[in-house]
Structure 1
């Protein structure tokens, strides 16, 4: 019997992401008034935001830029020692990043570019959110009151990035950082076009899907979670009432089994409202291989996928 590789639990979760936008004022208005995040700090052309159930001070950095896209995505280590070990593993793999002093809300971080072209950071030190008067919950185990604006996004959930070589990208994330492959999509006679990975027991913290163009480093979408399916349905009404066009959903994903809704924020980045998704408690989970979208049903319940979902990503190509 082949020896089972020791699972690696040195990164804890998706910590924060930076989105670039060419429409800073309108994007900020969207994330605060429509998506329902709180603005906690603004300086030097960037806004720092949080969702009401995020335990860290900030999970989204919104930065003014010439074009939309991902500035960086950051993963939090489980300890300072784990951070040092993962940096050593990256450098042993030939990755040459650099230590940065940190940013608003978090301490020093190791910044590097992944093989698929996205800038990533690893860090441990973070500032916890302490609710001011008027925002504290009656529940002491909840970071903030759940009384929310707009969609009322609850917490950062996952990110989907594009890669020219999906297997190589997910193998890198697994072997150096400890991501576990949960599901992947391999159409008959074609290479792998999608992989869904997680760090602990979620269905996914990271999705890697096939880049449709000759480009690297692009973002497919960033997702925040809400508490339940009804909140996703309510989000659809909120978007319609407040003038945000719905691209896709509400519906249920086949992979992850999450309930979803996608829109484009004013800068052009795709944003998801997500709920549910299965959880993994088995230490010897066997990755599920899909051969078609939804076993021939497109999505789990048969809703067709719009063509824009496969073609649009940020930065938008000429």
Structure 2
């Protein structure tokens, strides 16, 4: 068994690209319920009410849609240096060091084989609440503000890749990730993998690309406390004309109760009740789902709709 690597602490932030910046920002703040921490020339920095960092979502104006980059926070400055050295020796594409942005300091950037951009950083800007959002309990990052769907924290993201087996090698080599659950197809390919770098069940998933694109984004997910929050959010999305793609119902893999919508630029966004599942066993073996298992549908037998397999951002040009 490979020795677990805990150089990374957690998924820190995701940068989403939008070609409809004002509409996307309105969705994420007024409807989805993130708060705006700051803004520069091209980007808005957003967080959920109990995220401790200044930003967990960076929304950036672009000519296209999809993923800008994925940021992980290292466990220490020494861990950051260890990961940088390991990645430079890995053979994967290295971009190098940058000075960070409004939300964090120096970061090391690199790419997976499919063009998704990753960065690892340690120095971060922690959110400082004011009097208006001061929580009653000291162990909350800020007050629950009741705006929109109002998720509690960032949870995970899902990327698309033409070869999930190769993406798995990248995640294990560069990030020290472990696989907690996976889909094994009858043709020998891996249909999807769910990865963790701590004791959380997963912080990143990669599923097989069925839309013909490269380096595409499937979705980002924020977590709420209970299923009723998602049912209420469905009404909020309906009232605001947001496209509800699928849900609310429950995934078989990882057991999350979910709701998927498309924000105005077409990026898929999930709200989920991620539950309390933790991977505590140091010798955890991945749960393997077969193709026959997946054909049964989601946890309650509902079939997965076609766009969930084919829609990703940016859209594939015809």
In which range does the TM-score fall when normalised by the shorter chain? over 0.9
Q: Tell me what 1:138 maps to.
A: 136
Does the aligned pair in 1 maintain the 2:243–2:263 contact within 8 Å?
no
Deviations 1:11-42 (A, max 9, x none): 11110111000110000000000000001111
RMSD: 1.2
* Structure 1 position 120 matched with structure 2 position 118: yes
Q: Which residue of 1 aligns with 2:64?
A: 67
| 1:36/1:149 contact within 8 Å kept | yes
1:236 aligns with 234
* Cα distance in 2 for residues equivalent to 1:289 and 1:116: 24
Are the equivalent residues in 2 in contact too, given 1:163–1:217 (CA < 8 A)?
A: yes
CA distance in 2, matches of 1:293, 1:311: 20
Q: Is the 8 A contact 1:11 1:82 kept in 2?
A: yes
User: Would you say the 8 A contact 1:110–1:122 is kept in 2?
Assistant: yes
Shift in alpha-carbon separation, 1:295–1:169, aligned structure 2, 3 A? closer
1:106 and 2:104 matched = yes
Q: How many pairs are equivalent?
A: 315
1:249 aligns with 2:240: no
Equivalence for 1:281: 280
Match of 1:39 in 2: 36
Q: 1:300: which partner in 2?
A: 299
**Unpaired segments ≥5 residues, structure 2:** none
For the residue of structure 2 that corresponds to 1:81, the secondary structure is: helix
Give yes or no for contact 1:52–1:148 (8 Å, CA) kept in 2.
no
Contact 1:229 1:276 in 2 (8 A): no
User: In 2 relative to 1, CA 293–120 (structure 1 residues): closer, same or farther, beyond 3 Å?
Assistant: farther
Tell me the CA shift for residue 148 of structure 1.
2.2
Structure 2 CA distance for aligned equivalents of residues 69 and 147 of structure 1: 28
Query: How much does 1:188 deviate?
Result: 2.0
* 1:294 CA displacement: 4.8
Measure, in 2, the Cα distance between the counterparts of 1:210 and 1:295.
Answer: 14
| Cross-structure match for 2:88 | 91
Aligned residue for 2:190, secondary structure, equals coil
Tell me how far apart the structure 2 counterparts of residues 214 and 297 of structure 1 sit (CA, whole Å): 25
Superposition deviation, residue 276 in structure 1: 2.2
- How far does the alpha carbon of each residue in 1:199-232 deviate from its partner, in whole angstroms, 9 at most, with x for none? 1112210101111244321100011111111111
d(CA) in 1 for partners of 2:186, 2:292:
12
Could you tell me how far apart the structure 1 residues matched to 2:255 and 2:119 are?
Answer: 28
Distance 1:285 1:304 in 2: 29
Normalised by the size of structure 1, how large is the TM-score? 0.96
- Cα distance in 2, alignment partners of residues 41 and 296 from structure 1: 44
CA drift at 1:293: 6.8
SS at match of 1:193: strand
Unpaired stretches in structure 1, ≥5 consecutive residues? none
In structure 1, what is the Cα distance between the partners aligned to 2:184 and 2:230?
Answer: 29
Distance in 2 of aligned mates of 1:199 and 1:212: 27
Once the 2 structures are TM-superposed, how far is the Cα of residue 45 of structure 1 from its aligned partner? 1.8
Q: CA deviation at 1:299?
A: 0.2
Aligned residue in 1 for 2:258: 260
- Offset at residue 296 of structure 1 (A): 4.0
